[in-house]
Chain A
Amino acid sequence: MRLVEHFEQGLDAPICLTWELTYACNLECAHCLSSSGRRDPRELTTEQCEAVIDELQRMQVFYVNIGGGEPTIRPDFWHLLEYAVAHQVGVKFSTNGVRITPERARFLASTDYVDVQISLDGATAEVNDYVRGPGSFDTALLALQNLQDAGFRDAKISVVCTRQNIGQLDEFKAIADRYGATLRLTRLRPSGRGADVWDELHPLPEQQRELYDWLLAHGDGVLTGDSFFHLAAFGEALPGLNLCGAGRVVCLIDPVGDVYACPFAIHDQFHAGNLLTDGGFRQVWQTSPLFAELRSPQTGGACTKCAHYDACRGGCMAAKFFTGLPLDGPDPECVQGHSELALAGARTIPAASQDHSKATPTRNQPVMLKLMTRPPVSDCAESPLAGFVPDGG
């Protein structure tokens, strides 16, 4: 049996485990895939988090990807970081950089087993702040500067590829080189608040090709979290596993202990259980009916007729689900164009099953200003034809 077939049937413990420590965040990114903003009052306590780490150690989950929300604003974040490392669970954490002060940077430089990933979604403040909010570009670059000054080696710069920043890939690489960092590119998912802006932000078909060519040219020097396997249908496979790992080798623990099939699938449909009420993480990972289903042989549906199915495996489950497409059909960004009809037709975007967005906007909220293409219609306009301009009129 090939290695990839073992992965499709699931392993005894995940390879890539993401743990969102909090839904609280200082930013309100337009495309946040966990709809973060406010802390959930049921958030796991310090003791409960330590128990999770103990269990990960027993399961030999060698490292976790910690995220949020903004994980560093949890008061016990630095304690949990040290606790994990002391228990043979390495940590890579994602941050917008807000708490990476010179002092924290020196602490991070002094540790082994800790990797830092700074989120940056534009190589210029204009492009970045458009989706991540005012000031977020400067915050990220200051954090990178602090890490470099402290002697922290090989930080990661994590970029969600969008229509607005695909043309900046060389600039991103230059920023990474300047700070002695490694560039990590990932795919924009229509998950969380990303569902609201996906139509405007997701790369255009010709940009998918541009991205694919760039990845082939820069291959080994750039990380991708295996997130672009849908691009394999262009021809040559990109480095990585090239399969959907959801519930098989990948999963997510959210701030209240809910376990989901993957970080891009925070929705009841992909909820495998809760580690507080269902007997712990190992129990959920090994016995959840949802995960058993994901590990059983999948049918490619409409995709099995396509010559490229073996390359892309039908693409990303979460991307299909959150755009209202059938899970056994093509990915919404199918590079062969097989999803165009389905996207244009009638489809129902599933309602979110959780939302921790801030109830009222703050000064950090991105303002995605666009030029209006139609004159505004007054709220008081009573005419049933208000705003209607007949053709040729």
Chain B
Amino acid sequence: MILDEAWRLSPSVALRPEPFGALAYHFGNRKLTFLKTPALVRVVEQLADHADVRATLRAVGVPEAQHDAYAAALEGLADADMIRPRADAIEEAS
């Protein structure tokens, strides 16, 4: 469950602010993704500052009812390597 995991923005990814949210571009795999809400942009930017995804969503003020939708969006970003599991969390688990 991604909500309980620690993630961060991939180091190969740059964000460009846009009125709808942001463009996310991965310089390695050259994928371009649209972050379609400003809240999702803040979540992605702040993933590294919080213990897990759920804490990030709360800090950004995403209502609980939307957590599953945000989790699905983040899983999509993870598939494209836009966000990565945090190394510190992996070390703790192992």
A-to-B contact residues, CB < 8 Å: 1, 3, 6, 11-13, 15, 60, 62-63, 88, 90, 92, 112-113, 115
Contact = CB atoms under 8 A, between A and B. Distances in A.
B30 A90 contact: yes
Say whether chain A's binding surface is mostly helix, strand, loop, or mixed.
Answer: loop
B32 interface: yes
Interface residues of B, number: 13
Contacts of A6: 18-20
Contact of A11 (B18, B27, B30): B18
Contacts of A115: 30
Contact of A112 (B18, B20, B28): B28
B71 interface: no
B32 A112 contact: no
Contacts of A62: 14, 16, 23, 25, 27, 32
B27 A113 contact: yes
A132 B19 CA distance: 43
Contacts, number: 36
Contacts of B30: 63, 90, 92, 113, 115
A1 B20 contact: yes
Top 4 nearest A-B pairs (CB, nearest first) are A62-B25, A60-B16, A6-B20, A113-B27
A92 B29 CA distance: 12
B26 to A, nearest CB: 9
Contacts of B34: 3
B36 interface: yes
Nearest to B18: A11
B14 A60 contact: yes
Given A90-B30, A112-B28, A12 B14 contact: no
Contacts of B36: 3
B19 A90 contact: no
Contact of A13 (B16, B20, B28): B16
A92 B16 CA distance: 20
A112 B14 contact: no
11 contacts: A3-B20, A3-B36, A11-B19, A15-B32, A62-B32, A88-B27, A90-B25, A90-B30, A112-B27, A112-B28, A113-B28
A3 B25 CA distance: 17
B16 A90 contact: no
B20 A88 contact: no
B14 A88 contact: yes
A112 B32 CA distance: 16
A151 B14 CA distance: 27
Contacts of B14: 60, 62, 88
A92 B14 CA distance: 18
A156 to B, nearest CB: 11
A12 B21 CA distance: 12
Nearest to B36: A3
A225 to B, nearest CB: 13
Given A3-B34, A62-B32, A12 B27 contact: no
Interface string B60-74: 000000000000000
Contacts of B16: 13, 60, 62
Contacts of A63: 25, 30
